[in-house]
Amino acid sequence: MKTIYADNASSTRIADEVINAMMPYLKDKFANPSSYHSAGREVRLAVEEARRQIASVIACDSDEIYFTSGGTESDNWAIKGAARLCAAKGKHVITSKIEHHAVLRSVKALEREGFEITYLETDEYGFISPESLEKAIRPDTVLVSVMFANNETGAIQPIEKLAKTAKKHGILFHTDAVQAFGHIPINVKELDIDLLSFSGHKFNGPKGIGGLYIKRGVSLPVLIDGGNQENGRRGGTENAPAAIGMGEAARLAAKDMALQKERLELLRDRLIGGLAEKIPECIINTPPRNALPGIVNVSIGVAEGEALVLMLDLKGIFASSGSACMSGSKDPSHVLTAMGRDEKTAHGAVRFSFDRYTSQEDIDTILAVFPETVNKIRSVTRL
């Protein structure tokens, strides 16, 4: 049975070019990049080239990129580090209700340290307004953290306006760009971002590697005590093969970004239009504008999203009912409930997400199989 992978917001396939870039450093070029001998220096040069490749995607300097184990670690470092760095000025942090749990649980940890957290509301499309941020800012606010694009609905936030609102008050601004990095243009200098998190496996790189952009002059506390790796801020031998792979994935993403964005937008719109036509009373949770090119979130309301996902699995289509990090949770999507969806609608959501390997044939197959699956469920529930 031919399978269709439509869960790329959870993880993407490693590109062949990335595997080829990594292989020498998994086999023959295995030296520690911190070693002084020529074998170590050769690996070090490759790691630093990867850092430059990644920096070029968001228009920053390579020494502002720090490698981590992934987006979750980057979010934890940025949020906890920035809050603690500025704690003498105040203990108020602002985020939103639709953040990834790596952010939400990081600010919960800060609450246990005595910080006060404000959670911004969204509109029905999942957007946060700069005006709501302005109203939430207090004299003791030290950090604002708002995601660049939502991992469940694809909504792209007005980051430039949000960041400039924070900076107007002298407040550090962090954005979780895990879903956006490599898929849409980002220029951290123009957007006035202080801290930005990303993860390799979201743009056809390997798992277990990510990074944090730290604007020059922002002195986050050391994350891991140890050696002098990552400019002394994160001790531990670098995961050189993964870093090099992520660098190659970043290069590929930058080279093809405009083409892939246009192609995926056409596929996304084809799927949305087909679902709206073939499934009466379905609710499209992905906003009609300012959304990532590769995410479609739809609520059916006749069955739980996880049940629909399992039924699709039997047909060879791999989708999801929300964020992979919350798989198994009985709670409805916190993102959809924040957008005002009722519990039934939030529970009945399915997310399809695409990447460079998704074809129009894949979309047409989903449009043939998914409405048929929904109709079968609806016919049973009417009995």
The answer to whether residue 325 is catalytic is yes
**What is residue 321's predicted lDDT score, i.e. its pLDDT?**
87
Could you tell me if 222 and 268 lie in one domain? no
Could you tell me if 343 and 375 lie in one domain? yes
Q: Which of 225, 252, 279 is the last residue of a domain?
A: 252
Q: What is the pLDDT along the chain (383 residues), one digit of tens a residue?
A: 789 999 999 999 999 999 999 999 999 999 999 999 999 999 999 999 999 999 999 999 999 999 999 999 999 999 999 999 999 999 999 999 999 999 999 999 999 999 999 999 999 999 999 999 999 999 999 999 999 999 999 999 999 999 999 999 999 999 999 999 999 999 999 999 999 999 999 999 999 999 999 999 999 999 899 999 999 999 999 999 999 999 999 999 999 999 999 999 999 999 999 999 999 889 999 999 999 999 999 998 777 788 899 999 999 999 998 655 545 556 889 999 999 999 989 988 999 999 999 999 999 999 999 999 898 887 776 54
Could you tell me if 357 and 307 lie in one domain? yes
* CATH at 157: 3.40.640.10
Could you tell me if 181 and 287 lie in one domain? no
174 bridge partner residues: 145, 195
Could you tell me if 320 and 232 lie in one domain? no
Q: How far apart are CA 287 and CA 154, in angstroms?
A: 8
**What is residue 226's predicted lDDT score, i.e. its pLDDT?**
94
- The DSSP call for residue 149 is B
Secondary structure (DSSP) of 313-329: HHTTEE-BSS-GGGTT-
Could you tell me if 228 and 90 lie in one domain? yes
Could you tell me if 59 and 191 lie in one domain? yes
**What is residue 325's predicted lDDT score, i.e. its pLDDT?**
53
Q: Which of 252, 284, 311 is the last residue of a domain?
A: 252
Could you tell me if 108 and 35 lie in one domain? yes
Could you tell me if 45 and 58 lie in one domain? yes
Burial call 159-196: b when 16+ CB within 10 Å, e when fewer? bebbbebbeeeebbbbbbbbbbbbbbebebeebbbbbb
121 close to 338: Cβ distance less than 8 angstroms? yes
The token pair at 302 is: 């006749």
10 close to 322: Cβ distance less than 8 angstroms? no
**From start to end of 203-357, where are the E strands?**
210-214, 283-284, 295-299, 317-318, 349-353
Could you tell me if 240 and 266 lie in one domain? no
Could you tell me if 218 and 122 lie in one domain? yes
Q: Which of 60, 86, 282, 325 does the annotation list as catalytic?
A: 325
**Comparing C-alpha atoms, which of 169, 123, 177, 112 is closest to residue 144?**
169
Q: Which of 218, 252, 286 is the last residue of a domain?
A: 252
Domain that holds residue 211: 16-252
